[in-house]
Amino acid sequence: MSNRPLLLILCTLLQFLATAQDKPDIKFNHVLPEDFSISKLKVDTTLGAIIIADIGNSSFEGNSKGWFNLVYQHKRRIKIIDKKGFDMASVEIPLYIQTTSNREEIMEGLKASTYNLENGVVVETKLDKNTIFTDKQDKNHIVKKFTMPAIKEGSIIEYTYTIHSDFLFNLQPWIFQGDYPRVWSEYELDLPSFFEYVFLAQGYLNFDMKTSKSKFTNYNVIESGSTSAPQTYSIPSNNTISRWVIKNVPALKEEKFTSTIDNYISKIEFQMSGQQFPGGVHTDIMGSWVKVNEDLLKDADFGEKLNKDNSWLNDDMKALRAGTPTKLEEAKKIFEFVKNNIKCKGNHGLYLSAAVKESFKTKSGYVADVNMLLATMLKHDNITAAPVILSTRTNGHAHALYPLINRFNYVVCKVEIDGTDYFLDASKPYMGFNKLPEFCYNGTARVIDDNIAPVDFYADSLREKKLTSVILFSEEKKPGSWSGTFNTNLGYYESCEIRKKFIDNGKEAFETKLKESYTGDLSISGIQYEDEKNYELPLKMSHAIAVESNGDNSLIYFNPMLKEGYSENFFKSAERKYPVEMPYQMDETYIFQIEVPEGYVVDELPKSAKVSLNDGDGFFEYLIEKFDNQINLRTRVKLYKATFAPEDYESLRNFFDYVVKKHAEQIVFKKK
């Protein structure tokens, strides 16, 4: 007997199962009672909401303007579990506009409904289109906003829409991951062969499906002449259809010591790099850093005036250079002038908000205005200077290879004197010469000058060193009470934070808050500073400190760390899928000395300990001893790097667990 019928049935069944697994197990605009159950889902159901299916696709179409449109379709179904997930009912759809050409992206075909299960029956409540409103974010971006109706615990939300766009550079990215789990996340791109895009993928999740296939397509483009009849052109293309799917996507929350979660969320982005039409020549769209550099130096809103005469500065620069025997001293004097006289209004991106002459005149500007003025003044006096563009930590990583100018959001200044490079930020009055804010240390930056040189700013190159010393003497007339001194040499960036508080709110407000932080038996007085105005050096602080006690306790429990210890672990999550990004290497030393009070003996003393982190990434030591009538403690936490890979997270977490435990240990004094 032939087995062919059985084989045919098996093959058909396997093909059906493969096809079934290739699509999410839902049908949009058709919600059934069983869809409300979450018992079989393989994602975390404790966060308040789950995205059941998130599906997007982008394609191109010829238009009647002689060119092409992007067509983006988005479908999403969400299950609201409890009130923690109600924020998912507030929907925002961003759109790009171009006021200069009076063009904008158009959202069409919006369908949005909330489904509730009432007495076993699915009840649909449709969105009232009149409740949709438009919020203008800036000159190039608007957001369509609406809130889904009839939301309650257990609701299902569904919405679909289409965006038509003239802006081919704005090919929609796809974000597979976010604050809530996703059961199914899928994106498809139907790309013509004559448009070239760079695909930029990131994230730690692997694709469950990643496919590519070809399809022949004819595009009809209609070109309308002002006097002649419209002409239709047919453009053939061997399209590539790419599809990406990730299933059971976990939520990704931002944790302590993360530059920005956007650097690690699983997503794919696109950047147009070129065009090659049938029978035509290749057109480079992305360009190169050479071209970007040239364009920026010619741009009136960036560097056009850098190499001009700028004679309007002549008198002021003559006064500034007086009494400066070297170019380095002159550069420092110019830096101090700009820092102290041009008030910074905040960061506004790479481009000037006004001409540098205007910023000089009004004595104000944004970060780019301030540092471009600094570069202009330095170059006026024949000091080699150039702007440097970078991306701050919260803005995300700039791409090291591709000239994606929109990834950069901050401008500083580079000075070269006698073969040495100095990097300056005059927008921060508390920063010293050749010092940059720690948020600038985020990887690749670019010097915009004839050399178009890349420069790297990494947090691992920064070392923050702090030394604190406390000495407590027992009060003879009041055993169990102490008085003494507290001295600390702060790290540079902690010094910057304090100096900024001095500038923003005044020294008195800072001191009041510091004194209030010493509670219970602790109090401080007589705060003094050293190198307060020398912004190139760390700040030193000292004050008197007192520990009060009623003296009648048979046992005194005393934590020698006072307020300087680690009271909790930064790293609370059991696991972490992306790097730990500290702002700098850490080196903190605490030295403590205390007299044993009259009439008491030491009943318990913490044990000394020393542990290593990952055999060379850092160490912790806690060395304590009693010598005659005093106790000496020296504890130190030192990390030899700032960035730790995900595989180092568990050991880093355990390391700080141990530090917290040791810093919580107490000395016990017992009355004789």
Q: What mean pLDDT do residues 234-253 have?
A: 96
- Residue from 241, 191, 184 nearest 55 by CA: 184
What are the tens digits of pLDDT across the range 309-330? 899 999 999 999 898 999 999 9
What single-letter DSSP state applies at residue 230? P
Contact 472, 483 (CB under 8 A): yes
Please tell me the distance from the alpha carbon of residue 397 to that of residue 441, in angstroms, as a whole number. Answer: 10
pLDDT confidence of residue 434? 97
- The residues pairing with 422 across neighbouring beta strands, listed in sequence order, are 415
Please report the beta strands in 511-665, taking only residues with DSSP state E, as ranges in sequence order. 522-530, 540-547, 555-558, 580-581, 585-595, 600-604, 609-613, 618-627, 630-639, 643-644
Whether residue 79 has pLDDT greater than 70: yes
> What is the phi/psi pair of residue 446, to 5°?
-135, 130
**Residue 4 in this model has a pLDDT that exceeds 60:** no
With beta carbons less than 8 A apart as the criterion, state whether 410 and 436 touch: no
CA–CA distance, 307 with 417 (Å, rounded to integer) = 18
Q: What is the pLDDT of residue 263?
A: 94
Reported as a pLDDT band with limits 50, 70 and 90, residue 140 is confident
The string of pLDDT tens digits covering residues 351-397 is: 999 999 999 999 999 999 999 999 999 999 999 999 999 999 999 99
Q: How far apart are CA 577 and CA 205, in angstroms?
A: 9
Strand partners, 77: 53, 158
418 closest CA partner among 482, 484, 354, 327: 327
Q: 427 with 369: CB under 8 angstroms?
A: no
Tell me the average pLDDT across 281-303. Answer: 93
Residue (of 291, 306, 301, 307) closest to 452 by Cα position: 291
- Report all structural domains of the chain as residue ranges with CATH numbers, in order of start: 14-283 (2.60.40.3140), 289-457 (3.10.620.30), 463-671 (2.60.120.1130)
Span 108-133, average pLDDT: 96
Q: Does residue 20 carry a pLDDT above 90?
A: no
Q: How far is CA 4 from the centre of its chain?
A: 60
25-64: pLDDT as tens digits: 899 999 999 999 999 999 999 999 999 999 999 999 999 8
What is the average pLDDT across 4-22? 53
Residues facing 611 on adjacent strands: 620
pLDDT over 90, % of the chain: 86
Q: Compare 139 and 147 and report the one with higher pLDDT.
A: 147
pLDDT digits (tens, 9 = 90+) for 572-598: 999 999 999 999 999 999 999 999 998
Average pLDDT, the chain: 93
Among residues 412, 415, 438, which one has the least CA distance to residue 425? 412
**Interatomic CA distance for residues 164 and 30, integer angstroms:** 26
pLDDT for residue 10 = 53
Mean pLDDT of 518-542: 95
pLDDT band at 479 (very low <50, low <70, confident <90, very high): confident
Question: pLDDT of 424-446, one tens digit each?
Answer: 999 999 999 999 999 999 999 99
pLDDT score recorded for residue 276: 94
Q: Which DSSP symbol is given to 6?
A: H
What pLDDT score was predicted for residue 6? Answer: 56
Q: What is the pLDDT of residue 228?
A: 74
What's the pLDDT band for 137 if we cut at 50, 70, 90?
confident
pLDDT value at position 551? 60
Reported as a pLDDT band with limits 50, 70 and 90, residue 19 is: very low
CA atoms of 122 and 118, how far apart (whole Å) = 6
Beta partners for residue 275, in sequence order = 195, 283
Above 80 in pLDDT, residue 8? no
pLDDT of residue 672: 86
Query: How many CA within 13 A on the CB side of residue 93?
Result: 24
Q: What is the pLDDT of residue 453?
A: 82
Model pLDDT for residues 179-205, shown as the tens digit of each residue: 999 999 999 999 999 999 999 999 999
Residue range 275-304: mean pLDDT, rounded: 93
Burial 302-318 (b: 16+ CB within 10 A, else e): bbebbeeebeebeeebe
How far is the C-alpha of 310 from the C-alpha of 299, rounded, in Å?
16
Higher pLDDT, 550 or 242: 242
Residues 359-375 as b or e (16 or more Cβ within 10 Å = b)? bbeeebbbbbbbbbbbb
